Structure 1
Amino acid sequence: MSSLDDLDPVLTHHIVNSLGWRSLRPLQEDAIEPLMAGEDAILLAPTAGGKTEAASFPILSRMTAERWQGTSVLYLCPLKALLNNLLPRLETYTSWLGRTAALWHGDVTAGQRKRILNNRPDVLLTTPESMEAMLVSANVDHKAFFSGLRTVVVDEVHAFAGDDRGWHLLALLERLQKSVGRPIQRVGLSATVGNPVELLHWLQGSGAGHRVARVVAPHLDASPAAHSATNEPVVDIQLDYVGSVDNAATVIASLHAGEKRLVFCESRRMVEELGEKLRLRGVTTFLSHASLSVDERRRAEQAFAEARDCVIVSTSTLELGIDVGDLDRVIQLEAPATVASFLQRLGRTGRRTGTTRNCLFLALTEDGLLSAAGLLLLWSRGWVEPIVPPPEPRHIVAQQLIALCLQEHRVGDRLWPEWWNGLGPFGQPAEPIVRHLVDEGFLDRDGGMLFVGPEAERRFGHRHFMGLTAVFTAPPQFTVFQGRSEIGRTDPDLLTEEIEGPRKLLLAGRSWLVTYIDWRRKRCYVEPTDGGGKAKWSGLGFARATSFELTRAVREVLLGADPSVKLTKRAVASLAEARDHFMDAVHPGGTLVTRGRCGYIRWWTWAGHRANATLAASLGAVTSPAQRINDCWIRLREDVDPRAWKQAVADVSGGLCLPEVDPRAVKGLKFGEALPPRLAEATLATRFADMAGARTVLEEPTRFVVEAGT
C-alpha cells in the first residue's frame, strides 16, 4: 500500500505540518500508485471522502518529478460554483511546490483571462464549455497553451456521463489529445455509482482497452468488518407528509433552530416560493438556482462556508461537491429524480466527527410521497442507478464538426475522423452528417478542405460563436435589474400575460414591482414590493420522466412495502390513503387492465415514462392515440378485449417500435437544426425508448379486471 512517503517530500511536509494530517485516507493512499504511474482511473468515495486530494497529491508529485512545464493539468467540473469552491485549496497545494493554479469560466473577467494567457498556470480549473470556447477563440493560441498538457481530472464525472455534456466532454478530450500529440491521462472523481468499470471505460474514450486503467474504491473493496471499523456516520432518514409549500415552510421554520439547514427543491419556482415564505417567518434564508445572478448565488455559497442558524434553499446547483463545512441538516421537498442524486444530497451532512448523516423528506403531494417512498425503498436495498450515456448523440457530432472547423479554420474532408481517434459516433457513422452539413451550408468544401459555412455563421456566429460551445438549450429569459444591480432572470411569459393591477415578480426570494421593460435588450427593471410576486420558468413542456426501476418501486410501496426509514404519523396515514386509492391499480402477479373513473380503459404497467412510450407505440392496434404518456398506465382503445389484447402482444413479439417524437422536442434538441430531420427524430426516438423495461412488462401476465363495454 502506498503512503505519504511515496509523495513529493515537500508536499508530504506540508500535508503533515500545514494540514496537520498524520496519515492519508484509504482512497488517498490507494490512488498514489496508479496516478503517479500515469494510469487512467476512476476514484470513488462517499461525499467528503477526500477525492480532490486523492487526485491532486499524486499528480502534483508526478508534475514535480517529471518537471512538467506550462499548463499540464486540466481540472474540469460541471459547475462554476464547484470550481470557485475548489480554487483556494488547489492554489494552496500548488503553491507548496512553487506551482500555480487558476480559474477560467464565464464569470472570470477579461483582465484575468489575459493574465492567464500571458502566464500559463500549471493547473487550470474550468468547465468543458469554457474549454471549447478556448479552442475556437481567435484570442487563444490553443496549440501553444495546451502544449504541455499531461493529465485531465474530471470532478463529479457521473454528472457528465449521463447526458450530452458527457459526449461533448469526450469529444473535446480527443481533440485536445490530437492537438498535443500524446495520450492524456484521464482521472475521474465520483461518489458511488452502480457501474464504475463501465464509467471508467467511458471516460477513457478511444483509449479504452489500450491504456492501463483501474477503479480505486477501497470503501467498496473492504469487508463488512472493515466498514464497521471506519466509523461511518449513522444515517437518520425521515419521511413526512405536509401537503403544501406553506406547511413545509412552517415545519422548517419551527425545527432545528440554531442550525444550518440546506433544503433541496425540484424546481426554481418552488425554491422561490419556499424562500419567500421562510423569510416572512423570520428565518435567515439564502437561495441558489441557475436563474439567479452571480452575486445572489455567491451569497448562498458564502453562507455555506460562514453562516449559522440559517436555511439555504437550492435546486441541484448545490448538490455536487461544494465544501459545505458545518452543515447540520438536509431537507428534501418531494423527491429527487434518482437514488444517486439523493446520495449526493445526503452526503452534504455528517462530515464532522460525532455528527449524523440525515435527510428529512417533506412530501407536498400524494405523488411526491409515493415517489419519495419508492426511492427510499431502493436506497435501503443498496441500489444505485448505473450511469448510461444517452445513445445516438448525432447532434453533438454535428456541433463538434462545426467547432473543429472553427478551431482549425480548415480540415481535410477525409482527415476529420482522425481528430476523434475512432471514438464511437464521431468516426464513420458521422459521414451522413458531414454530407448534410455541406449540403445545407453549415460547412463549405473547397479543394478537399472543409471550413465553416454561411449557415453556421448565421445560426451560431452571434458573439463569437458563443452558442456553439454549450450543448444544452436554455429557454429565452429576461434579465431583472434593481437599478444597476442584477437580481437574476425570469420567464418572458410573466411579462406578457394579461393581468389586473400591478405586475409583480418573485425572484431571489423577494417580490418585485415591475417598473419598466426594455423589450429590445430583454431587460426588466423592478423595485421592492410587499408580497404577491409570481415565479415561473419554462422548459420544453415535458414532465419529469421516472425510470422503470423507480416506478416499480412505487408499485411495491402500494403493495405494502415500506422503506427502512422513519415514517411520521402523517406519512403513515397518507401512505395508507394512497394504498387505498390505488387498490384496484396494482396486483402482485402482473399488470392490470381496468376501466377508470373517467370511463376509458387503462393498462396499469407501472413501467416508467420511457417504457410506456415504447409500449404505446408498439401496441398501436390496441392503444388509444388520444393519450399523454405517463409513468403508471397506458390508455387502451374502448373496444379492446382479452382476445384482441393477446393478438396485439403476439404481433410485437418480433420487435418493439420506437416512440413517436413530439415536434416540440425536435425543436428543443440543441443543434438539431444541423441534422437531417429524420436523423434528429431518430435520435430523440431512441432516447425516449426503454426497450428492456417494455419487454419486461410484456412478459408479465395481464389481468383484465373488466371487459370492454361494461
Structure 2
Amino acid sequence: MDIYNRYAPFIQDYIYRSGWRTLRAVQNAAGDAIFNTDKNVLLTASTASGKTEAAFFPILSLLDEQPSSSVGVLYIAPLKALINDQFGRLNDLCEEADIPVTRWHGDAPRSQKQKLLRKPAGILQITPESLEALMINKSMEIPALFGDLRFIVIDEIHSLLRADRGGQTFSLIERLCRLAGSNPRRVGLSATIGNPEAAGKFLGAGSGKETIIPKFDGGKEVWRLSIEHFFNSAPQANETRNSVIEAAPPTAALEPATDTAPKAANPGIGYIFEHTRGKKCLIFTNSREECELVCQTLRQYSEANHEPDRFLIHHGNLSAAYRESAEEAMKDDDSLMSVCATATLELGIDIGRLERAFQLDAPFTVSGFLQRMGRTGRRGDPSEMWFVMREDHPEARAMLPDMIPWYLIQGIALVQLYIEERFVEPPKTDKLPFSLLYHQTMSILASSGEMTLAELASRVLTLSTFHRISQEDFGTLLRHLITIDHINRTENGGVIVGLAGERIVNNYKFYAVFQENIEYTVRAGSEELGTIVKPPPVGDKIAIAGRVWVVDEVDHKRREVYCTLVKGNKPAYFGDVAGDIHTRILERMHDVLAEQKDYSYLMPQARGRLAEARETFKKAEMANRPLVHLGGKMWALFAWLGSYAFLALERFLKIRCGQRLGLKGMNSTRPYYLQFTMDVSEEEFYKIVAEEAAIDFDPLALVYEKEVPVFEKYDEYVPEELIRKGFANGILDLKGMQNRVLSWQKNL
C-alpha cells in the first residue's frame, strides 16, 4: 500500500476504474526504485506484466507533484505502431491530470507537433529516426523543448542492444541532454533481457547515474508449447510413433479436403490452416518474402475449402493502411482473423486476446522467440506457441550435413537455453561503429553549423557509443570526408557540411541508420499497397499484401509501380536480411543431438525426425569430432560457432591454413557447417589449425587483399582502411574462433 499511497490521486482513480484490487509485484518494485532513488531503472518483466504502467504510474505522480516547465518525459520506442498503441493508453491515463501526450513520427498529425513546439509539456513519444530528424531540423528548439526533462523511457530496449540503431539512440539521448542542459533519469523496459547487469550499463552509459534493476517475484511462467516437423512431401518422419503431450495440439488433417486444393500443397501450411480455424492467431515468419508466400497459400486454402478469407498480413514494407487494418482486426476480441507477420508484430503492441502464435521454422534468437511467444498469454491465459519446422526430403545421395534438420534442432536449442539457463543474447558493445560515426558526425555538423575540428571531435568522440574509436581513426575519417566533399573547410578554419554531404543529410532517409533498399511504392488504383525493391517489367507478377498482382506500369522516375489483382502464387523480394545467431545457440544444438533427453513439447513427427538426426549424429561420431569424413578427399566441419565466429573460421581456414591443408572447394552453410576437400589427414588437420590459431596474428590478416567488407548503411562514405579495421576488429569474433579451434586438439 505504501507505493499505492504515493501515487497521484488521478493514478489511484485510474486503478480503481480499471478494477485492479492489488498492485502487481513489478509495479511495487518499479515504484520503490523510481520514488525512492535518483538512479536509472531497468525494468525487466514478462510480456503483458504491466511494465508500462509500472514505470509511468510513479513517473507521472512525480510530474504531478512538481510539474515540468518543458516536456517532462521523453518516451522512445522502436516502432511507430508501438507508439500509436501506447498513445491511447497514456492518453486515458493522463487525461484527468491534464498532462498532454504527443506523438512525433512520420504518420503523426503535424498540428500536434506544432502545438508542442508552441507549448512544450507532458509526454513526447518518438522513434529514434524522428528524434534524429528533430535534432537536425529543430536544434534551436531543443533547450525549450527539453530544458526541464525529468525522465527518458526507452521501451523494448532489448531491440536496441545489438545493432547500430541502439548506438544511434543513445548518442541522440546524450546529445539532447547536453544541448538542453538537462539530466533526466533513464528507464528501460523489456521482457527479454538475458544479462541485466550488462544491459543496465548500456542503459546508463554517459548519464553519470547508476542503474538499479529491481528484483521481484514475477510469478510462475506457464507456456503451452509444441514443435512439429513436416517434410514438404510424403512420407512424414516416423509417422507410426505416438506421443501424448499435455496441452499440446493434436495432429491435424494436413491437406484441404477438396479436389481444388492449391497445387504442390504444403503439409506445414495445411497444418496451420486447420489449427487457425475459428481462432485468432499470429503466424510468424523470418522474412517478408516468406510472410507474403505463406499468406498467399493460406488464402488459397480458404478458397479451395470454400471458406471466407480469414488471413491478414503485417510487415514493414506494407502501407500504413494495411498494417493498421491488421492491428485493428487483432484488437477486436470478436475477430477470428489470423495475421501473417514478421518482427513488426514481435514487439509490445497490445493486440488483444490472441489464442496462439505459430512460428514457421526457427527464429535466429532466443530474444525473438520470447517476444513472439509473449504476443499470446495476455489477460490471464498461458502463452501458447506452435513451431512448424519444414524441410525437403534429403536426396538419395545426400551427404551427411544434409541429413540434419537444422531448423528443428535450432528451435529446440532456443527453447532449452531459456528453460535451463534463462539465456538471452547479451548487448553487443565491442563493435567499431564507423558507419554510425560517419552518421553522427554529419548529424552534429548539420544541426550545429560551423565549428572547429577540435570542437567537432569533442562533441563526437565523447559520446559513449564511440568509446573504442581513437583520435587517429576519427582524423582519418574527417580527412576522407573533406576529400569527398561531404565536409568543407571554411575561410575561418572551421568545417561545415559540404555540397555532396548536403545531398545525403537533407534526404529523409538519412535519419535511419539501418540498411534500406531502393524501394518502389506499389499502387492498385487509388490504394497504396506498400513498397518493393527491384520491380519487374510490365506484364510480370509481384507479390505484396498477401496477394499476387500483375504489373501494368513502372514509373522509375517517381519510383512507383501500378498493378492489378490476379490469381496465383509468386515469390516476393524485399531485400536481403542477415541473421545473427549466438554461439551459445549452436553449442546447445550440438547438445540436443548428443543427449538422449526427451522434450515434452515435441509432437510425433518432430520426435521421430529428432531420433533420426540423433542416429545420424551418433553413427558419424560427431559428438567429440568436429571434422567428419564424407568420402575421398571430401570433409565436413561442424564447429558449433555463432555467425561471426563462424565467419572468422571460414577466413582463418582459407587465408591462414589453406596452403598447408591443401584446401579446395570450400562451401559454407553458415553457421552450421563447412564442406571442402583437403590433402592432409584428420590428425594433420587438427595439428595444423591448432598451430596457426596459437599464433598471435592481427585480425586484419583475415580480410582479403583489396576487400572492402561493407556491412552497414554508411560504410560507403567511410575510408576503406577503416571499413577493413571495423570488420576485422568489430564484426569477426576472432577470440571465439581461436578458443574453439584450440579446444579441438585438447579434446581428442
TM-score by length of structure 1 reads 0.90
CA distance in 2, matches of 1:332, 1:67: 46
Task: Tell me the number of residue pairs that the alignment of Structure 1 and Structure 2 aligns.
Answer: 680
Amino acid at match of 1:651: E
The structure-2 alpha-carbon separation of the partners of 1:495 and 1:218, relative to structure 1 and needing over 3 Å to count, comes to farther
Cα distance in 2 for residues equivalent to 1:268 and 1:597: 39
- Secondary structure of the equivalent of 1:415? helix
Q: Residue 376 of structure 1 is aligned with which of 403, 415, 419?
A: 415
Q: Which moved more, 1:291-300 or 1:380-389?
A: 380-389
2:550 maps to 1:523? no
Cα offset for 1:165? 0.6
Deviation per CA, 1:592-647: give whole Å up to 9, x if none: 32332685223322223322222233342246364344223334552123236414
Q: Match for residue 485 of structure 2? A: 441
Once the two structures are TM-superposed, the CA of residue 558 in structure 1 deviates from its matched residue by: 2.0
CA distance in 2, matches of 1:586, 1:42: 45
Match of 1:277 among 289, 297, 303: 297
Instruction: Give the structure 1 partner of residue 131 of structure 2.
Output: 131
- The residue aligned with 1:224 is none
The Cα shift of 1:118 comes to 2.9
1:693 to partner: Cα distance: 2.9
Cα drift, residue 385 of structure 1: 2.1
Q: Find the partner of 1:574 among 609, 612, 627.
A: 609
User: In structure 2, what is the equivalent of residue 601 of structure 1?
Assistant: 635
Partner letter of residue 626 of structure 2?
L
Instruction: List alignment gaps of at least 5 residues for structure 1.
Output: 220-226, 497-501, 706-710
1:632 alignment partner AA: Y
Letter matched to residue 29 of structure 2: D
1:345-494 map, 5 Å: 345-353=372-380, 355-365=381-391, 366-382=405-421, 383-389=423-429, 391-419=431-459, 421=462, 423=464, 425=466, 428-429=470-471, 430-446=474-490, 447-458=492-503, 460-461=504-505, 464-492=506-534, 494=536
Summarize deviations over 1:444-489 as a string: whole Å, max 9, x none: 233243211123124x04xx33232110111112211011210011
- Indicate conservation of the 8 Å contact 1:555/1:586, yes or no: no
Q: Structure 1's 386 and 423: CA in aligned 2 closer, same or farther, altered over 3 A?
A: closer
Letter in 2 for 1:286: L
Q: Residue type matched to 2:494 in 1? A: M
Q: Residues of 1 paired with 2:568 and 2:40: CA distance?
A: 54
Matched ranges for 1:687-706 at <5 A: 687-702=730-745
Determine helix, strand or coil for the equivalent of 1:242.
strand
Cα gap change, 1:388/1:662 in structure 2, threshold over 3 Å: closer, same or farther? farther
Partners of 1:662 and 1:99 in 2: CA distance? 60
Q: 1:62 corresponds to which letter in structure 2?
A: L
Q: Provide the aligned C-alpha RMSD in A.
A: 2.6
**Corresponding position of 2:396:** none
Residue pairs, 1:120-269, within 5 angstroms: 120-137=120-137, 141-207=141-207, 210-219=208-217, 230=219, 232-244=220-232, 246-269=266-289
Partner Cα separation in structure 1 for residue 632 and residue 574 of structure 2: 31
Cα distance change on mapping 1:242 and 1:598 into 2, 3 Å: farther
Could you report, residue by residue, the CA deviation over 1:386-408 in whole angstroms, capped at 9, with x for unpaired residues? 22235111211111111001111
Q: 1:205 to 1:585 in 2, by over 3 A?
A: farther
Deviations 1:34-91 (A, max 9, x none): 3234421101101111111111111111112222122121100011111111001111
Q: Which amino acid aligns with 1:12?
A: Q
Indicate the SS of the match to 2:339.
strand
1:20 counterpart residue number: 19
The residue number in structure 1 matching 2:724 is 681
The answer to whether the 8 A contact 2:522-2:528 is kept is yes
Look up the equivalent residue of 2:438 and give its one-letter code. A
Q: CA deviation at 1:656?
A: 5.6
Percent identity (aligned): 27
**What amino acid is the match of 2:322?**
E
Name the SS for the 2:47 alignment partner: coil
1:299 to partner: Cα distance: 1.2
Within the candidate set 357, 361, 369, 1:334 is matched to: 361
Alpha carbons of 1:425 and 1:611: their partners in 2 closer, same or farther (altered >3 Å)?
same
Which of residues 313, 317, 326 is equivalent to 1:291? 317
| Whole-angstrom distance in 2 between the partners of 1:292 and 1:409 | 37
How many angstroms apart in 1 are the aligned matches of 2:170 and 2:715?
A: 20
Q: Check the 8 A contact 1:132/1:172 in 2, yes or no.
A: yes
1:547 to 569, 577, 582: 582
Task: Judge conservation of contact 1:442–1:453 (CA < 8 Å) in 2.
Answer: yes
Structure 2: segments with no counterpart, 5+ residues: 233-264, 303-308, 392-404
Hey, what's the Cα distance between the residues in 2 that align with 1:201 and 1:609?
25
Q: Using the TM superposition, give the Cα deviation of residue 97 of structure 1 relative to its aligned residue in structure 2, in angstroms.
A: 1.3
User: Larger deviation: 311-320 or 361-370?
Assistant: 361-370
In structure 2, distance between residues paired with 1:565 and 1:324: 29
SS at match of 2:424: coil
Aligned to 2:657: 621
Structure 2 Cα separation of the partners of residues 346 and 367 of structure 1: 21
Cα distance change of structure 1 residues 593 and 11 upon mapping to structure 2, 3 Å threshold: closer
Instruction: Tell me by how many angstroms 1:435 deviates.
Output: 3.4
Q: In 2, Cα distance between the equivalents of 1:235 and 1:175? A: 42
The change in CA–CA distance for 1:216 and 1:403 in structure 2 (over 3 A counts) is same
Equivalent-residue separation in structure 2 for 1:249 and 1:157 (angstroms): 33
**1:532 aligns to 2:534 (yes or no):** no
User: 1:651 matched to which residue of 2?
Assistant: 692
